[in-house]
Chain A
C-alpha cells in the first residue's frame, strides 16, 4: 500500500519516536505525538489513514480520543495500544469503534499487518 500515513499517540516519547522510526524504515509515514490533545489538534489539519492510540494516557484518555476521532474523522481507523492484562480495554475500544488493538511490548510485524488492514478499510478498499 502506498503513502500509508499513520499517527502514533503515546505519552512515552521514546516509545512513539522509536516506533515511528521503525515504521518509516518500512515505508510508512508516521507522525508521533505524546498526548491525546496534540493528536486531536493535529487531526484537525492533517489526514491520517490510521491512528495508533495508547489507551492509558495522562489528560484525555485514549478511549475518549477514540470517540472524538470517530466523530470528527469517521474514515480514520484507530488501533489501540494496551498493556498486558488489559485486553478488556482493547476489546472495549473495539466495541466503541476501534479497528483493533495491540499489546505492549508491540510486535512490529503484527502492528504493520494490522495498520495495512486498517488503512485498506480507511480508504474504502474493504467493505466494512
Chain B
C-alpha cells in the first residue's frame, strides 16, 4: 500500500522530512537536513571552543618569546661587554707599561742595550707578553733594540704605524706574522721632549694573548668566538668561520660603541645569534657566534610544549565536539524519526479506519440490491423451471445462471470489503498463514494474471496455525507482495515459502526475481518516507509493515541484489504480542 498517501513529499539522501504538522521544524524547502545541522553544530562549537584557546596560545607565545628571548640574549651581551673591557684593559695596561719605561728612562739610557734589556725583563715580569722593545727617534731611526732579531738602525720613517703613533701618541697594530713567522702585533707609544722632539717606544706582543680573550667566553661546541680586525681578517683562530689571518665568513658588523647582540641568517638561511664589540683604541672586534637553538633552548622547549598543548587540545576538543554533536544530532534524528513514524502511523490508522467505515457502508448498500437481484434471478429460474418447454428455455436458464454467478462475484467483493473494514479492529484469532496469503493474493491476482507473473507457493508440512491479528497481517503481506508484483517484469516470478523455524515460529519468505534494491537503499528501506517510487510512493508502506510485524512480536528482514531480485523474510510467533 505504497500509494495510500500521494500528498507527502519524499525524502532524499540524508534529508528526512519532519511531520507536516510542525512547519516550524522545516527548512526553507520544507526539508530538514540533519547533516547540515551536524556540520553547523560542529563548526559553531569548534569555533567558540578553539578561538579563545588559539588566541590565548598566540598571545602567550609572543609574550613568552619576548620575555625568554630577552632573558637569553642579555647574558650573552653581558659576557661580551666583560670580554671587551678585559681586552681594552689588557691593551691599555701594555701601553701604560711602555709609557712607564719611557718616563722612567731617558732616551739615551734606552739606547743602551743593557738598560733596554733590563727594561724589557722588568715589563715582562710585571705584565708579560712582550717579545721585544725598540726605541725610535723622531726621524724613524731605531736607536735602541732588544729582542730576538738585530733591528738596531732600522728606519721606520715611511711606515704607516710610525706616522700614526707620531700623530695619535699610541698605536696598536693588526696581528701579522712578521719576519719570524710567528703571529704577533705591535704596540707603540710616543714621548714628547721639551725641545719639541719625541721618541717612540715600540714593542711586539704575542698574538696568543688575544686568543685567551676570545676563547675565555663560555661557549658550547656548536658556538664560535674570535677576533677580527676592521677589514674582517681573523686575528685569532675560529672554529667555523675561516682560517687564521684569512677573511672571516661573517661580514664586518657596523660600528657600535657598546656590545651588540643581533639575529642573522647564514648563506643557507639558517638563523644564528651574533654578538660583537668594537675594542676601543685598537683595530680589534670581538665576535661571538651562537646557534639560535643553543641560545634559545629553553624557549624552544617551552614553545614545543605550548604548540603541543595547543595541538593536543585542538585534537581532543575536536574529537569531543564531533562525538557529542554526532550523538546529539543522532538522538534528535531518532526522536524525530520516532515522532514522524508515530504521527504517520496515527494518520495511517485514522485513514484506514475511515476507509474501513466507507467500505462497510458501500458493502451494505450494495448488498441489499444484490440480494434483490439474486432473488429476482432465482424467481425467474423458478418460473422458467416450472413452465413447460419453450424455444429459448435453455438460453433463459443459462442467462439466469450467469446473473446468479455475477451476484456471487459481487458478493465476494462486498465480503472482502467488509473484511477489510474489520481489519481496523485489533483482535487476535487463530490464523492459517497459507490461507491468509492466498486471501491476500486474491486482491492482487488479476494484476499478476494480466502481467503473466507466475506466483508459486512452497508450503512445508505441519505448519501450525498462529494466533495473531488477521487484518494487520493481511496488511503486512499485501504491502510486501504488492511491492514484489511492482518490482518484477512481465513474465516474472514470485515464490512464497511458508516454513517452520527451529524456535517453533512460522517463517514466510517472499522472493521475487525483480529489479532488486541497491545496498544504499536497502539500509533505509524501513525508514518512514523513504521511497524509490518518485511519483507515487509515500515511503510509508514498508515502515508501517515493519511497525506491524514488530508489534505482533515478529521480525522482518530483507535481502536483495540489484538485477537479481529481493527476498523478504517475516518470522511470526505462534502467539502474537497483544497490543
Asked if B204 is at the interface (CB within 8 A of a chain A CB), the reply is: no
Evaluate contact between B418 and A85: CB separation under 8 angstroms.
Answer: yes
Evaluate contact between B382 and A25: CB separation under 8 angstroms.
Answer: yes
**A22 CB, nearest partner CB in chain B, Å:** 5
Main SS class of interface, B: helix
Instruction: Check A85/B363 contact, CB under 8 A, given A15-B368, A22-B382, A105-B407.
Output: yes
Main SS class of interface, A: loop
- Size of interface on B: residues with Cβ below 8 Å to A: 26
Evaluate contact between B421 and A85: CB separation under 8 angstroms.
Answer: yes
Asked if A83 is at the interface (CB within 8 A of a chain B CB), the reply is: yes
Q: How many A-B residue pairs have CB under 8 A?
A: 66
Asked if B386 is at the interface (CB within 8 A of a chain A CB), the reply is: yes
Which parts of B395-451 form the interface with A (CB within 8 Å)?
407-408, 411, 414-415, 418-419, 421-422
- CB-nearest residue of chain A relative to B411? A105
**B367 contacts which of A19, A25, A84 (Cβ < 8 Å)?**
A84
Asked if A68 is at the interface (CB within 8 A of a chain B CB), the reply is: no
**B311 CB, nearest partner CB in chain A, Å:** 75
**A40 CB, nearest partner CB in chain B, Å:** 22
Docked CA distance A67–B508 (Å) = 48
Contacts of B367 in A (CB 8 A): 83-84, 104-105
**A85 contacts which of B368, B379, B407, B422 (Cβ < 8 Å)?**
B422
Docked CA distance A15–B383 (Å) = 16
Evaluate contact between B421 and A106: CB separation under 8 angstroms.
Answer: no
Asked if A42 is at the interface (CB within 8 A of a chain B CB), the reply is: no
Which parts of A4-44 form the interface with B (CB within 8 Å)?
12, 14-15, 18-19, 21-22, 25-26
Evaluate contact between B368 and A84: CB separation under 8 angstroms.
Answer: no
Asked if A108 is at the interface (CB within 8 A of a chain B CB), the reply is: yes
Asked if B334 is at the interface (CB within 8 A of a chain A CB), the reply is: no
Docked CA distance A56–B363 (Å) = 14
Asked if B372 is at the interface (CB within 8 A of a chain A CB), the reply is: yes
Instruction: Check A18/B411 contact, CB under 8 A, given A83-B363, A84-B418.
Output: no
Contact with A along B365-404 (1 / 0, CB 8 A): 0011011111110110011001000000000000000000
Instruction: Check A22/B418 contact, CB under 8 A, given A83-B364, A84-B411, A85-B363.
Output: no
Docked CA distance A21–B376 (Å) = 10
Evaluate contact between B419 and A19: CB separation under 8 angstroms.
Answer: no
Chain B interface (Cβ within 8 Å of chain A)?
360, 363-364, 367-368, 370-376, 378-379, 382-383, 386, 407-408, 411, 414-415, 418-419, 421-422
Further contacts, 17 of them, CB under 8 A, given A105-B367, A108-B378: A12-B368, A12-B371, A14-B376, A15-B368, A18-B375, A18-B379, A19-B375, A22-B375, A22-B382, A25-B382, A83-B364, A83-B368, A84-B363, A84-B418, A85-B360, A104-B371, A104-B374
